[in-house]
C-alpha cells in the first residue's frame, strides 16, 4: 500500500530492518495476546493474512515471524490493524482440526473415498478423498459437517476400531467341532454382501460401542463457530427480475451466413501454432514474471469489494483481468480469454489488455470502448485468433453497473439478502474477427442498479470446462450452486471455495486451461 493509501487514522510507520522487526515481534509475543496465535502443532497463524507460518530451521520464532511480516502486504509495515480475533481463532481451529485429521487414525477412515465421521459414525458424502488423498477442500467439508454434528457437539469420539467396523465389522471366530471336522465360517446374515469376504454391513448408526469423551487436540475440545444458515439455491420462481435486455439485433444477411464457420477455423489455426517448438525455460520464466506484473491488484472502493483469482495452465496465460479508474470516480473492470494457449495466446492477451485499458481510460461508454478495441485488434489477429471479453463500468455514486459482453460466458449475479439469482448476458460477438458496424451492432449495453447483498461473478471457461477423471465437465450448474451458497461469505472466501472445489473435482488430471475469476460484492 502506498503512503497515500494508508487508511484514515492509521499512522504510516517507517520500514524496520530485519533485526528491529524481530525485536518488535518478541515484544508483541510477550505483551499482546493477539500475536500469540499458535496452533497445537506449534505453527503461527498471521493475524493479518491468516497464513500459517512454521519455525524456520536454525532460526528463532521471532526471526521466522519477522521474515513473513516483511513481505505480508496485509501487515503493510504495521500500518494496518489485525483481523478480528474471532476470524483468527476460527482459522486456528481449522488448522487444529486439519492436524488432528492428519495425525489421528480414527479421522482417516474412508469407504470408497467417502469419509466416516468418528463422532456420529456416519458416511459423509460431501467429504471425499480423490485418489485416496484428502485435500484442503476435504478438510473444509469436514468442518462443515462437524458444525452440524450433534455427536461431535456432545464430545463423542470413537476409537479407530469402532470407525473401521462401520465398513466391515469383524466376523465372529469359527467354532471348531469336537470331532475334528473342518470348521467352516458361519453363513452371512441377511443383507447384501460387501467386497470384504461377504460380511454384512451394519446400519449407518454403527456398532454398539460405548462412545468415549472427545478430547481432540491433546485434550482441548475444538469449538467451531456456529454454522451459518446457507441460502437455498433459488428456484426459477425466486429468480431475480433483472431489467429487460434491449431487443436482439436483426439476423445477419444471408450472404454472411457461411462466414460463421470462422471460429472452428480459428481454433484449428491456433492448435497448429501451438505445435511449434516451445521457448527455452528461462525465457518462459521471464515471460511469466512479466505477465504477473501486468495483472493489477483489485482496487479498494468504499461500499464495494473486489477480488480476483488467476491460475495459468502453462507458464504463461491467455486469460486476463484489469481495472481502470475513470472520470467521476467510476471504475472499469474486465475479464478476457484469448483463444488457444501458450506463448502466442499470452502475447495477444497482453496486447488486448493494454488496448482495452487505453481506450477505457478515455472515458467512453462500454459499448464504444469494446468497438474501438475490436477494430484495433482485428487487423493484427488476421482472422486466426479471437478474444472473448466482458467489460463493465461501476458507478459508485449512481450505484449502477453498465455491461457489455463480447462472446464471453455470462456473468452470474445473486443477492443473498433477497434470495434471488440470475445471469447478465447481453449479446455480442467475440473480438478480433469482424470490424466496423457489423461488430458494433452486435453489442448490447446493459445497465443494472446495485443494491446491498448483490454479488457478481465473472469467470473464464477454464472453470466450467474442467473435467474430472471420468471426463465429466464441472459445468455451469455446479458453479452456480457454489456461487449462490457461498456468496454471503464475502468475495475472498467465495473465490477460494470455487477454486478449491474445481481442484477437488479435477483430481489428479493435469490442468487443461487457464482459470480466472473476478468477483464484486455490495455488502
Nearest to 516 by CA among 282, 287, 353: 353
Instruction: Show the cell assigned to 7.
Output: 487508511
**3-state DSSP assignment of residue 389:** strand
CB atoms within 10 A of CB 374: 29
Q: What are phi and psi of 192, to 5 degrees?
A: -70, 140
Q: Going along 158-240, which residue ranges are E strands?
A: 212-213
Check: CB of residue 443 under 8 Å from CB of residue 426: yes
CB atoms within 10 A of CB 497: 18
d(CA 440, CA 403): 14
Q: Give the H or E element holding residue 107.
A: none
Distances from the Cα of 433 to the Cαs of 387, 436, 438, in angstroms?
9, 10, 10
Nearest to 406 by CA among 384, 381, 379, 438: 438
In this prediction, residue 202 carries a pLDDT of 34
Nearest to 514 by CA among 378, 388, 393: 388
Quickly list H helices, 72-134: 85-103
Rounded mean pLDDT for each run of 10 residues along the chain, 523 residues in total = 41 59 88 91 90 83 86 80 87 90 92 91 86 74 89 92 82 51 43 36 38 38 40 41 47 37 49 49 58 70 94 78 92 92 81 92 92 90 86 96 96 95 94 90 94 97 91 93 95 94 86 89 93
Q: What are phi and psi of 388, to 5 degrees?
A: -100, 140
In this prediction, residue 281 carries a pLDDT of 62
Q: Which residue has the cell 466450467?
A: 464
The four Cα atoms 517, 88, 233, 117 give a dihedral, to 10 degrees, of 110
Q: Going along 386-502, which residue ranges are E strands?
A: 387-395, 400-406, 411-415, 420-424, 446-449, 454-459
Distances from the Cα of 166 to the Cαs of 100, 171, 346, in angstroms?
20, 13, 52
d(CA 483, CA 488): 9
What DSSP designation does 205 have?
Answer: T
In this prediction, residue 157 carries a pLDDT of 93
**3-state DSSP assignment of residue 471:** coil
d(CA 330, CA 333): 10
In the chain the domains, ranked by start, together with CATH numbers, are 3-83 (no CATH), 89-172+193-219 (no CATH), 237-244+261-270+280-521 (3.60.40.10)
Instruction: Show the cell assigned to 159.
Output: 476409537
d(CA 364, CA 372): 10
Instruction: Show the cell assigned to 33.
Output: 495476546
**3-state DSSP assignment of residue 114:** strand
d(CA 421, CA 240): 5
The radius of gyration of the chain from alpha carbons, rounded to an integer in Å, stands at 28
Check: CB of residue 240 under 8 Å from CB of residue 418: yes
In this prediction, residue 131 carries a pLDDT of 59
Instruction: Show the cell assigned to 64.
Output: 521466522
d(CA 450, CA 330): 14
In this prediction, residue 269 carries a pLDDT of 53
In this prediction, residue 323 carries a pLDDT of 95
Amino acid at each position: 500500500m502506498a503512503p497515500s493509501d494508508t487508511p484514515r487514522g492509521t499512522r504510516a510507520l517507517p520500514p524496520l530492518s530485519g533485526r528491529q522487526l524481530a525485536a518488535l515481534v518478541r515484544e508483541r509475543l510477550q505483551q499482546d495476546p493477539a500475536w500469540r496465535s499458535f496452533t497445537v502443532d506449534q505453527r503461527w497463524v498471521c493475524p493479518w493474512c491468516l497464513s500459517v507460518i512454521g519455525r524456520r530451521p536454525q532460526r528463532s520464532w521471532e526471526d521466522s515471524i519477522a521474515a513473513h511480516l516483511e513481505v505480508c502486504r496485509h501487515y503493510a509495515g504495521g500500518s494496518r490493524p489485525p483481523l478480528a480475533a474471532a476470524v483468527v481463532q476460527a482459522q486456528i481451529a481449522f488448522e487444529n482440526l486439519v492436524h488432528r485429521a492428519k495425525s489421528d487414525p480414527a479421522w482417516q477412515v474412508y469407504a470408497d473415498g467417502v469419509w466416516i465421521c468418528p463422532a456420529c459414525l456416519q458416511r459423509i458424502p460431501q467429504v471425499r478423498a480423490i485418489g485416496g488423498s484428502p485435500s484442503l477442500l476435504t478438510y473444509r467439508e469436514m468442518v462443515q459437517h462437524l458444525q452440524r454434528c450433534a455427536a461431535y457437539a456432545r464430545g463423542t469420539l470413537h476409537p479407530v476400531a469402532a470407525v473401521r467396523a462401520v465398513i466391515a465389522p469383524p466376523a465372529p471366530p469359527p467354532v471348531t467341532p469336537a470331532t475334528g471336522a473342518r470348521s467352516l465360517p458361519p453363513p452371512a446374515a441377511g443383507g447384501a454382501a460387501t467386497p470384504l469376504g461377504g460380511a454384512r454391513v451394519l446400519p449407518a448408526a454403527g456398532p454398539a460401542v460405548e462412545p468415549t469423551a472427545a478430547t481432540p487436540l491433546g485434550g482441548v475440545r475444538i469449538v467451531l463457530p456456529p454454522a451459518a444458515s446457507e441460502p437455498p439455491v433459488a428456484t426459477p420462481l425466486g429468480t431475480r427480475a433483472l431489467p429487460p435486455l434491449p431487443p436482439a439485433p436483426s439476423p445477419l444477411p444471408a450472404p454472411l451466413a457461411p462466414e460463421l464457420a470462422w471460429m472452428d477455423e480459428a481454433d484449428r489455426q491456433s492448435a497448429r501454432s501451438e505445435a511449434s517448438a516451445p521457448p527455452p525455460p528461462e525465457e518462459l520464466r521471464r515471460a511469466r514474471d512479466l505477465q504477473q506484473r501486468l495483472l493489477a491488484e483489485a482496487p479498494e472502493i468504499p461500499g464495494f469489494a473486489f477480488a480476483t483469482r488467476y491460475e495459468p495452465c502453462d507458464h504463461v496465460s491467455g486469460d486476463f483481468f484489469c481495472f481502470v479508474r475513470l472520470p467521476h470516480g467510476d471504475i472499469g473492470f474486465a475479464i478476457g480469454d484469448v483463444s488457444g494457449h501458450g506463448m502466442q495466446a499470452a502475447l495477444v492477451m497482453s496486447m488486448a489488455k493494454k488496448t482495452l485499458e487505453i481506450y477505457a481510460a478515455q472515458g467512453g461508454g462500454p459499448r464504444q470502448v469494446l468497438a474501438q478495441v475490436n477494430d484495433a485488434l482485428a487487423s493484427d489477429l488476421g482472422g486466426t485468433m479471437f478474444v472473448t471479453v466482458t467489460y463493465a463500468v461501476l458507478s459508485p455514486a449512481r450505484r449502477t453497473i453498465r455491461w457489455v459482453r463480447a462472446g464471453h460466458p455470462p456473468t452470474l449475479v445473486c443477492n443473498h439478502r433477497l434470495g434471488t439469482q440470475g445471469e447478465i448476458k447481453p449479446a455480442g460477438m467475440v473480438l478480433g474477427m469482424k470490424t466496423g458496424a457489423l461488430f458494433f451492432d452486435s453489442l448490447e449495453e446493459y445497465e443494472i442498479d446495485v443494491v446491498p447483498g448483490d454479488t457478481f461473478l465473472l469467470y473464464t471457461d477454464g472453470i466450467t470446462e474442467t473435467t474430472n477423471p471420468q471426463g465429466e465437465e464441472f459445468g455451469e450448474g455446479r458453479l452456480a450452486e457454489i456461487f449462490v451458497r457461498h456468496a454471503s461469505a464475502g468475495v475472498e472466501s467465495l473465490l477460494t471455495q470455487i477454486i478449491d472445489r474445481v481442484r477437488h473435482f479435477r483430481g489428479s488430471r493435469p490442468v487443461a486451461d487457464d482459470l480466472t475469476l473476478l468477483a464484486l460484492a455490495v455488502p
